[in-house]
Amino acid sequence: MLILASNSPRRREILSALRLTFAVEPSLFEERAAGRSARETVLAFARGKAEDVFSRHREDIVLGADTVVSLDGEILGKPKDGADAARMLRRLSGRMHEVFTGVCVLSSGGCGEEVVSTKVFFNPLGEDLIEAYVKSGLPLDKAGAYGIQDGFPLVGHIEGSYTNVVGLPEETVRALLSRIGGYKW
């Protein structure tokens, strides 16, 4: 059985869209970035989450993932509150940033992991849009204080994987599950 080591509704949606049968068991892994780059952070966190759940499910295939937003080399995590979300959105306004997702698949047959990066180009955001978006509550549980799928005109365009920006790069997941989990597409 495939187990998603995350409680993310967006990751569940992406796996469901791939027509995969899976269980969800959120990891107890404690995330501590401590001076790592965005790429190193997402890989370490994805691996830590997958290893934690795999330690309890050695006969299964475990998928761990972690996503961060990086602006000028600084990781923008989930906002603490609405004011923090507004601050992040102002910083992202009219600029390019990168979204990194680390993916780790563990099974008794081995381990596969990758980091995917997507460049995201934000539209210039007016204060009215920022205020409306923050009031919606949507940015509060998302890295970088936004979701590309939320229906607000935040993003002008991207270079790379759309599903990576949502939180789980579909193409990479397919490849790792084929290689490590023996899935046929």
Catalytic residue set? 66
- How many C-beta neighbours within 10 Å does residue 126 have? 10
Whether residue 11 contacts residue 168, with contact meaning beta carbons closer than 8 Å, is answered with yes
For residues 44-78, one letter each, b for 16 or more C-beta atoms within 10 angstroms of the residue's C-beta and e for the rest, the string is bbbbbbbbbbbeebeebbbbbbbbbbbbeeebbbb
